[in-house]
Copies of this chain bind each other. A is one copy, B any other.
Amino acid sequence: MQDKITKLFKAIADPTRRDIFHALVIASSTLSISQISNQFEMTRQGITKHIKTLEEAGLVSLESKGRERFCNVHTQPLQEVNKWLKFYEQFWGDSMQDLGNYLDSKNS
């Protein structure tokens, strides 16, 4: 389909998914599908779809317990986004000047 990093970027590009992800991170325990969807206007099935794309991005994993499914959240994949950002970080401030610095350091 598409590469890992794009899946990751797309997963967090949706506001609902960012909200779900955030809810999972700050929750004091793992949450079930229903527990999550109760926090949103959307139908459970809609939430399930979002969770699936979060899962495919590696940001959550699912664990069945009885009739319920609990979501484990994983923040580690975000390090890839951070890595991507890192490169451009050197250009914050005045782009052109910093670009000069970057090129100089490459040539030395």
Query: Which A positions have Cβ atoms within 8 angstroms of B?
Result: 2-3, 6, 9-10, 12-15, 18, 25-26, 28, 73-76, 78-79, 81-82, 84-85, 88-89, 91-92, 95, 99, 103
Contacts of A78 in B (CB 8 A): 85, 88-89, 92
Are B6 and A15 interface neighbours, CB within 8 A? Answer: yes
- What is the bound-complex CA distance between A23 and B18, given in angstroms? 28
| Minimal beta-carbon separation of A95 from chain B (angstroms) | 6
Known contacts A6-B15, A13-B10: A95-B82 contact under CB 8 Å: no
- The residue of chain B having its C-beta at the shortest distance from the C-beta of A95 within the complex is B75
Known contacts A9-B13, A13-B13, A25-B91: A81-B75 contact under CB 8 Å: no
